[in-house]
A and B are shown apart, each in its own frame.
Chain A
Amino acid sequence: MLRKNGTAQPQGTDGYASRGSIASTARYILRNTLAAVAVLSFLVYFVSLPQAPALTVERTTAKSNESSGNNIIGGQPTRITWEAKVGNNEKVASVTLRFPAGSTIAQGANVKATVLDDMTRIETEQNPVLTGDYATIEFPKPVPSGLLLRIEVYNVALPSATGDYFIDASYVDSEGMRTDLLGAIPIKVIGITATESVISWLDQQEWVQNWNSVLFLRIFFNPQLIVAAIPGLFFGWLRSLGLVLVGFPLAIPIGLGISFLRMARGKGGAILRFISSIYVNVVRGTPLFLQMYIAFFGLPFLGINVDSYLLGILVLAMNSSAYLAEIFRAGIQSIHKGQFEASSSLGMNAIQTMFFVIIPQTVRRVIPTATSEFILLYKDTSLLAAVGVMEQMMFAKSMVANTGNMTPYIVAACYYLVVTLPLTKIIAVFEKKLAAAEGLTTAPEGKQKKKRASSLAKEDLSTGDCHE
C-alpha cells in the first residue's frame, strides 16, 4: 500500500518518471521500499508490544511498622501493597508475589486482592495461598484488561538486614502462559532498632505475658509500649520544653512592662493603669484554651499565616505575661516603702531606684511564684495539641490511636513529671530560704497562696518544735 503510493506519486504529478532515466526510477523505488519496510516493522513492533507485559506494576510499598517513626523494619510484620494494571487484550488468571529470601510470615498473615475498574471496586472471586516465600492469588474468573489489581499481604516480615528489597512477581494469563515480572520498585528496609529488639525480647518473656494478661496492667502499663513510648515521645517532650523555654523568657519582659503600667503614677497614669488592668483581667479571666482557638482559627481569617509552633509560643507568652505581671507587681509592692525613700534620699531617680534597689530585692521574692507559673505554663503546652501544634500530647495521642492502649499517656505523664517534680522541689527550697531570710511577715502574694500558707504552717510547726 505504502510502496504503491510512493511510486505512483511522481508519475501522477508531473510525469517526470516516464521521461527520466531508468536508474533514477529504480533508486526511487528502492528508497521507498526501505522506508516502507521500516514503517511496517514499527507497526509489527507496536502490535506485538502488549503481548509482552500484560501486567504493569504501578506501586510496591510496605506500611511502616516502627512503633515511633515511619520506617519499615526488617524481621517485623508489615503489610505489603502491590498494585498492577492489566494490559490490553489480556486476562490474568493468577498472580504470584515472591518475597525476598529471608522473609517470614507472622501469625494472622493473609493475602487478598482488590480489583478496581478505575475507582469502582469489582467483587472478584479469589483463592489465596500464602507461605513465607510467596503469595499466590488465583482468579477462577480471569481479571480482564484495563483493571487495577491491588494485592495486600498482611503480617509478612521482610528480611532483617538493612537494604532495598524488591518483590518479584509472575502471572499466568487465561491461556496458561506464565510470565515473570522482575521487581523494579524498591522497598527500603532498615535493620531492627534497639527499641524494636527490646520489644521483641519482651514479647517472648513469660512474665510479660502474665503481666499483660491483667487487663488494667495491659491497658495502662504495657511493658512493650513503655519501651516503645520512651524514645517515641522524646522528641515530643523536647518540643514541649522548647515551647515553654522560649515562651516563658519572652513573657518575663512583657510581664514586667505590664506590671510597671499597672503601677503607673502621674498625669497619664490612670489611663495606663486602666489599659493594663483590662489586659491582665481579660487574659486571666478567660481560658487559655479559648485564647488559643481565637489565635489559631481567627488569624487565618485575617489572611495572617504564622507558623503554628511560633504562634503557640506567642500565645503562651501573652497568656503568661498577664500572670507574671501580677506576680511582679505584688513582688515590687511588697518591698517596704522605706526602700524608695532611702533611695531618693541618696539622690537616685525613679528608674535607678527601680533597677538597682527594688528589682534585685523583688527577684528573690518572686522566684517561687514565677517558677510555679513556669510549671503551669509547661503543663498548658499540652493544650496546643488541640490546635495542631506537634508537641508531647500530640505524639502521645497518635501513639494511643495507633495502639488502642493508654500506656503512651502514662509515659507522657512521666515525661511531664520529670520536669515538674524537681521544679516543685526547688520552689520548696526557695520558699524555705526566703522565709528564713525575711521572717514570716512579708510574704509576697501570688497564685501559690495555698502552698505558701501550708509551708508557713510547717515553719510554725518546726519553730514550735525548737522551742520545746
Chain B
Amino acid sequence: MKNLKNLQNYRKFLALITCMLLAMSLMLSACGDNSAKPTDSNTNSTDTVASGTTPIASAEMKLVTAGTLTVGSDCDYPPFISLDGATPAGFEYELMQAVADEMGLKLKYLEPQNFDTILASVAAGTKLDLGVSSFTITDERKELVDFCIPYCDSNQACVALKDKGFKSASDLEGKVVGAQSGTTGESWALENVPGITMKPFNQTSEGLAALMSGDIEALFFDEPVAAWQIKNTYTDAETIEKIPTGEQYGFAVAKTNPVLKDKINEALAALKQNGTFDKLYDKYFPGVTAPSLKG
C-alpha cells in the first residue's frame, strides 16, 4: 500500500516536470525567435531597418519550386476555372499558361483547395506562388496579401430556383441562403440582406446542389459564373438580381514576394500588348470589352 502511494507521488512529480518543460520550451521559442531576428539582420550587416514583425521582402523573385509557377485554386468556378477530368481548364487556366510561357516558367496547378484557405496559403508562401481563384481585390484581403493588376471585372448575382417566385435579393429577408465560404458574395449578402441565415459552402457547386435540393433559398456568387452555370447546367435556376459591385479580380501574391508581383504584371502587360490577352478574353466572353489591365 505504501509503495502504491509512492508510485502516485512519482506520477505527480513526472506530470509536474512535463508541464514545466513544456512551458519552458514555449518561452524559449518565444525569446529565441525574438532575439534571433535582430542578430540575423546584424550578420547581414547591410540592411539595418529589418524589424522583428514585418517580413523582409527580398529583392529576388522567389518560387516554391524553381522554374515553376505553382498556383492554388479551388477549380470550381466555370468559366474561369473548372476541372476537366483531373486537369484544370478555363479562362484563368489558359491565362496562367500564357503568363507562365511569357515568363519562361512551367505552370503547375496544385490539387483543388478550399477557397477560404488559399489566401492564407499564399501569405504563408511555402506551398503556393500565386492564388488564382477569381479573387476580388479588396482592402481586407490586401492586408493579408498583395494583388497583381486586375485581369477581369465582375459583379455579384443572387440566384434562386425559378418556381420559388423571388423577384429580388430583398425578398430573401429572414431566409436561409448560401454562398461559398470567404467570398465577396457571402459578405455582400450578410451586409445587405437583413435577417438572413448564411450557410457557407466549401465549393460553389456544393451551394448549387443545396439550392437544387431546397436546402437554401438562394445562392450569392459572381455574376459571370452564375450566368454560365444557369446557361449550361442549372437551367431550373435564374438570376433574381444582378448586383452591380464593379469588383475586379487579381492574382494574389505573398507580400514577401514583390518581385514576383512585378514580373507577373510585366507579363500581363506584354500579353495585353501582343493581343494574346484580348483574344483569350474574347474566346470566353465574346462581345464583352476586355479589361484595360491597368493597375
- Minimum CB distance partner of A153 in chain B: B139
The answer to whether B246 touches A297 (Cβ under 8 A) is no
The answer to whether B33 touches A215 (Cβ under 8 A) is yes
Q: How far is the CA of A401 from the CA of B186 in the complex (A)?
A: 12
Which residues from A are CB-within-8-Å of B53?
212-213
A82 to chain B, nearest CB (A): 12
The answer to whether B209 touches A214 (Cβ under 8 A) is no
Q: How far is the CA of A368 from the CA of B199 in the complex (A)?
A: 37
The answer to whether A59 touches B192 (Cβ under 8 A) is yes
Which residues from B are CB-within-8-Å of A462?
4, 7
The answer to whether A121 touches B153 (Cβ under 8 A) is yes
Question: Any chain B CB within 8 A of the CB of A466?
Answer: yes
Q: 1/0 contact trace for B5-44 toward A, CB 8 Å?
A: 0010000000000000000000001100110000000000
The answer to whether B191 touches A63 (Cβ under 8 A) is yes
A300 interface neighbour in B191, B212, B223, Cβ under 8 Å: B212
Question: Any chain B CB within 8 A of the CB of A154?
Answer: yes
Question: Any chain A CB within 8 A of the CB of B182?
Answer: yes
Question: Any chain A CB within 8 A of the CB of B1?
Answer: yes
152-168 of chain A: CB within 8 A of chain B: 152, 154-155
B116 interface neighbour in A150, A214, A386, A398, Cβ under 8 Å: A398
Range, interface on chain A = 35 or more
Question: Any chain B CB within 8 A of the CB of A116?
Answer: yes
The answer to whether B191 touches A62 (Cβ under 8 A) is yes
A214 interface neighbour in B7, B29, B206, B245, Cβ under 8 Å: B29
The answer to whether A388 touches B199 (Cβ under 8 A) is yes
192-242 of chain B: CB within 8 A of chain A: 192, 199-202, 206, 209-210, 212-215, 223, 242
Range, interface on chain B = 35 or more
Question: Any chain A CB within 8 A of the CB of B144?
Answer: yes
Which residues from A are CB-within-8-Å of B215?
300, 305, 308, 388
Q: 1/0 contact trace for B87-100 toward A, CB 8 Å?
A: 00000000000000
The answer to whether B244 touches A108 (Cβ under 8 A) is no
Which residues from A are CB-within-8-Å of B116?
397-398, 400-401
The answer to whether B191 touches A61 (Cβ under 8 A) is yes
B124 to chain A, nearest CB (A): 8
Question: Any chain A CB within 8 A of the CB of B155?
Answer: yes
B246 interface neighbour in A150, A386, A405, Cβ under 8 Å: A150
Question: Any chain A CB within 8 A of the CB of B168?
Answer: no
112-169 of chain B: CB within 8 A of chain A: 116-117, 119-120, 123, 139-140, 143-144, 153, 155
- Minimum CB distance partner of A463 in chain B: B4
- Please report A residues at the B interface, Cβ cutoff 8 Å: 59, 61-64, 70, 79, 81, 108, 110, 114-116, 118-121, 123, 148, 150, 152, 154-155, 210-217, 297, 300, 305, 308, 386, 388, 390, 394, 397-398, 400-402, 404-405, 462, 465-466, 468
| A-B pairs with beta carbons under 8 Å apart, 22 shown | A61-B191, A64-B190, A70-B190, A79-B139, A110-B139, A119-B242, A121-B248, A210-B30, A211-B30, A213-B52, A214-B29, A214-B30, A214-B33, A297-B209, A300-B209, A388-B199, A388-B201, A388-B215, A401-B181, A462-B7, A466-B1, A466-B4
